[in-house]
Amino acid sequence: MEHCVLGTDNFPRTLLMYLSNTPDSLSNYFPTILCNTDTFKKTIMNNNLLYLASNDTSKERYHQLDHKEFTEMVDSGAAFARGFRYDDTVLDRIDHELLGRKPGEVVPGGWCLGDSSKNRSSCSVWGDSGILRPGSGSDRLERRIVELLSNDWFRLHQCVPE
């Protein structure tokens, strides 16, 4: 962000102008900036840790995700997913099974110390928002990153190969 705002070249602002009215502009803006900046281009891996299910039976390359792909999505180790239908039940499943979130409450974490009282919200007592307590998803993410960094995958998918 600092480079985009304070950078001496005009590239970040020019690119923002070009991408502002395109689909998925945010998905393309920052990777493009990073891959075209001398400071960052040798340290960036071309992978956004996003799960997108391929749909070979459709004219579209990717389709909306649903409950049938939940296990595959979780097992992929991706940190992010997109393409859900509005208010799809798979989102409730993600909240419940992966995030431990109850309906109408925030996702528990270091900021949410909880309360043993049944009449109170699980986040009625707040803690330090800077505390991160890794859950089971961190193990999946770690395996995915190790996989991406192994077997020269990283070097083959850098923005600027050596």
62 forms beta bridges with 54
Q: What range does the domain containing 19 cover? A: 1-44
Residue 21 lies in a domain: yes
Residue 39 lies in a domain: yes
Please indicate, yes or no, whether residues 2 and 81 belong to a single structural domain of this protein: no
Please indicate, yes or no, whether residues 23 and 79 belong to a single structural domain of this protein: no
Residue 147 lies in a domain: yes
- What is the count of structural domains for the chain? 2
DSSP secondary-structure letter at 99?
S
> Per residue in 6-32, is it b (16+ CB within 10 Å) or e — as a string?
eeeeeebeebeeebeeeeeeeeebeeb
Please indicate, yes or no, whether residues 10 and 68 belong to a single structural domain of this protein: no
Please indicate, yes or no, whether residues 52 and 94 belong to a single structural domain of this protein: yes
Q: For residue 122, name the pLDDT band (cuts at 50, 70, 90).
A: low
Higher pLDDT, 118 or 69: 69
Helical spans, DSSP H, in 36-119 = 70-75, 89-93
Task: Evaluate if residue 140 carries a pLDDT over 80.
Answer: yes
Contact partners, residue 146, CB within 8 Å, separation at least 6: none
Q: Say what the pTM is.
A: 0.64
Residue 125 lies in a domain: no
Please indicate, yes or no, whether residues 39 and 53 belong to a single structural domain of this protein: no
Burial class (CB within 10 angstroms; exposed 0-12, middle 13-18, buried 19+) of 65: buried
Residue 5 lies in a domain: yes
Question: How many C-beta atoms surround the C-beta of residue 78 within 10 A?
Answer: 17
How far is residue 86's CA from residue 31's CA, in Å, rounded to a whole number? Answer: 27
Please indicate, yes or no, whether residues 7 and 57 belong to a single structural domain of this protein: no
Residue 156 lies in a domain: yes
Q: Which two tokens stand for residue 80?
A: 């992010």
Please indicate, yes or no, whether residues 33 and 52 belong to a single structural domain of this protein: no
In tens, the pLDDT along 34-74 reads 787 777 777 777 777 888 766 555 455 567 787 888 898 89
Please indicate, yes or no, whether residues 18 and 34 belong to a single structural domain of this protein: yes
Please indicate, yes or no, whether residues 2 and 59 belong to a single structural domain of this protein: no
Sign of CA dihedral 51, 54, 58, 62: positive
Please indicate, yes or no, whether residues 39 and 73 belong to a single structural domain of this protein: no
Out of 69-73, 141-145, 151-155, which region has the weakest mean confidence (pLDDT)? 151-155
pLDDT at 80 (0 to 100): 86
Angle between helices 11-19 and 25-35 in degrees, nearest 10: 160
Residue 109 lies in a domain: no
Please indicate, yes or no, whether residues 53 and 83 belong to a single structural domain of this protein: yes
Q: What is the DSSP string of 131-151?
A: -----HHHHHHHHHHHHHHST
